[in-house]
């Protein structure tokens, strides 16, 4: 591959001058500029970003460590992050933690070793020493979606409290009284907050959330299935299950289907996170939608601000309830077109 030296030789100029025209430095003669451009063209020269980074101490790269790429919510988040970053002249390297702290730590380490300019993270846990140290050491960093209390880093996330309140009101109006939740890991903020918001909303209606109705999931589908089976085995199963993310809702659908039961007749279902497929599931799933694209863009802007020495603004955006049919038919509607027999769990 041609280096800047080759270009300089081809153009009959010094590497300093070549570098200047490549970086649009003002003090270059038109003649020099022309000759350099011609040489660049002739040699198909492309600057080596590695060398440039070593010299300038910036990589124009952002690291994004997310909990699970296979989760459509995070996939969309990653996509919007990349788009906004690209618009601002940055590349992004994604690290998929797969909800595993060691993997998260591996990616944080790798990213830091590569000297990314800033780090966007949606922590899987309360933070590894490496991550906390990086934050303390002043590595530009911002949390997206999930965050770690006590760490002084801007947070960009959505607040689902009002949407959860709307959801519970909706469920209550439909006559449901026994409401359960499939929670995310207690080590994550979203894992805890969604349970708290749910409990609080239940309280508004004089309902409480017994421990038996709090299932411990891990934001992945299998756990949603397992927890739902547990609920169904209860002497008094819940009437509704609220899954704290879309994958656990998928798992809940698996469980219901495996028992030959039906949603919402045997068990109503709602989910945090709205995904496109929810429109076409049987039945369409009522969900809480986050402004995912806006979140990703705001996170990048906050991070780039930090990189440039700014404070990096924290942002909280509201989520909203999208009612579909998985919690029961709204009252005024005519009878469902497929009246299915109400079967009950046999246990």
Partner DNA sequence: CTGAAAGCGCTTACAG
Q: Check residue 23 for interaction with DNA (CB under 7 A).
A: yes
* Half-sphere CA count of 337, side-chain side, radius 13 A: 3
Choose which of 9, 41, 43, 52 interacts with DNA (CB under 7 A). Answer: 52
* Residue 167 CB partners (closer than 8 Å, separation 6+): 201, 242, 270, 286, 288, 321
- Give the interface segment with DNA, choosing from 20-28, 64-72, 97-105, 306-314 (CB under 7 A): 20-28
Question: Is the backbone of residue 274 left (phi > 0), alpha (psi -120 to 50) or beta?
Answer: beta
- Give the interface segment with DNA, choosing from 23-31, 163-171, 182-190, 242-250 (CB under 7 A): 23-31
Q: Check residue 20 for interaction with DNA (CB under 7 A).
A: yes
Distance CA 316, CA 219 (A): 22
By CB under 7 A, what part of segment 127-156 binds DNA?
none
83-86's contacts with Cβ under 8 Å and 24+ in sequence apart are 83/296, 83/297, 84/296, 84/297, 84/300, 84/301, 85/300, 85/304
Count other Cβ atoms within 10 Å, centred on residue 161: 17
Minimum separation from the CB atom of position 24 to DNA (A): 10
Of residues 19 and 96, the one with the C-beta less far from its own copies: 96
Q: Which does 181 bind (CB under 5 to 8 A by kind): DNA, its own copies, none?
A: none
Q: Which does 120 bind (CB under 5 to 8 A by kind): DNA, its own copies, none?
A: none
In Å, how far from its chain's centre is CA 35?
48
* Contacts with its own copies, residue ranges (CB under 8 A): 44, 46-51, 53-54, 59, 69-70, 72, 75-76, 78-79, 82, 86, 91, 93-94, 96, 106, 109-110, 112-115, 133, 221, 250, 253-254, 257, 276-277, 279-283, 337-340
Of residues 59 and 228, the one with the C-beta less far from its own copies: 59
Count other Cβ atoms within 10 Å, centred on residue 345: 16
Contact at 8 Å (CB) between 270 and 286?
A: yes
Minimum separation from the CB atom of position 208 to its own copies (A): 31
Contact at 8 Å (CB) between 329 and 175?
A: no
Q: 185-211 burial string, b = 16+ CB within 10 Å, else e?
A: bebbbbbbbbbebbbebbeeeebebee
Q: Check residue 13 for interaction with DNA (CB under 7 A).
A: yes
Q: Check residue 16 for interaction with DNA (CB under 7 A).
A: yes
Q: Which helix (H) or strand (E) holds 84?
A: helix 72-87
Of residues 28 and 167, the one with the C-beta less far from DNA: 28
Q: Which does 78 bind (CB under 5 to 8 A by kind): DNA, its own copies, none?
A: its own copies
Choose which of 41, 42, 48, 173 interacts with DNA (CB under 7 A). Answer: 48
Of residues 29 and 340, the one with the C-beta less far from DNA: 29
Choose which of 24, 44, 57, 89 interacts with DNA (CB under 7 A). Answer: 57
Of residues 15 and 187, the one with the C-beta less far from DNA: 15
Q: Which does 29 bind (CB under 5 to 8 A by kind): DNA, its own copies, none?
A: DNA
By CB under 7 A, what part of segment 26-45 binds DNA?
26-29, 31-32, 45
> What is the token pair recorded at 335?
């009878």
Of residues 197 and 328, the one with the C-beta less far from its own copies: 328
Distance CA 151, CA 46 (A): 41
Minimum separation from the CB atom of position 30 to its own copies (A): 26
Closest of 151, 163, 153, 155 to residue 194, by C-alpha: 163
Of residues 112 and 294, the one with the C-beta less far from its own copies: 112
Of residues 33 and 205, the one with the C-beta less far from DNA: 33
């Amino acid at each position: 591959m041609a280096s800047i030296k080759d270009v300089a030789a081809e153009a009959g100029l010094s590497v300093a001058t070549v570098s200047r025209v490549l970086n649009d430095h003002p003090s270059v003669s038109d003649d020099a500029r022309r000759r350099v451009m011609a040489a660049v063209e002739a040699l198909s020269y492309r600057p080596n970003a590695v060398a440039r980074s070593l010299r300038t101490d910036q990589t124009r790269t952002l690291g994004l460590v997310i909990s699970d790429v296979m989760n459509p919510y995070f996939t969309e988040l990653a996509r919007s992050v990349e788009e906004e970053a690209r618009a601002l002249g940055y590349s992004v390297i994604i690290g998929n933690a797969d909800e595993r702290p060691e993997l998260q730590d591996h990616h944080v380490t790798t990213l830091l070793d590569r000297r990314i300019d800033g780090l966007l993270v949606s922590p899987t846990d309360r933070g590894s020493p490496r991550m906390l140290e990086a934050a303390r050491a002043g590595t530009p960093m911002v949390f997206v979606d999930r965050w770690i209390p006590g760490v002084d880093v801007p947070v960009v996330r959505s607040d689902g409290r009002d949407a959860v309140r709307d959801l519970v009101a909706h469920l209550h109006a439909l006559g449901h009284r026994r409401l359960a939740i499939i929670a995310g890991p207690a080590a994550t903020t979203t894992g805890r907050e969604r349970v708290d918001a749910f409990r609080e909303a239940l309280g508004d209606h004089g309902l409480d959330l017994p421990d038996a109705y709090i299932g411990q999931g891990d934001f992945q589908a299998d756990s949603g299935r397992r927890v739902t089976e547990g609920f169904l085995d209860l002497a008094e199963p819940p009437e509704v299950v609220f899954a704290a993310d879309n994958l656990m809702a998928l798992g809940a659908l698996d469980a219901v289907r495996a028992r030959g039961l039906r949603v919402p007749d045997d068990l109503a279902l709602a989910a945090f996170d709205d995904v496109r497929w929810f429109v076409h599931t049987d039945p369409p799933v009522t969900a809480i939608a986050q402004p995912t694209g806006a979140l990703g863009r705001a996170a990048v802007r906050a991070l780039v601000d930090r990189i440039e020495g700014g404070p990096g603004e924290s942002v909280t955006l509201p989520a909203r309830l999208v009612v579909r049919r998985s919690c029961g038919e709204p009252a005024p509607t005519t009878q469902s077109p497929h009246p299915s027999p109400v079967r009950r769990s046999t246990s």
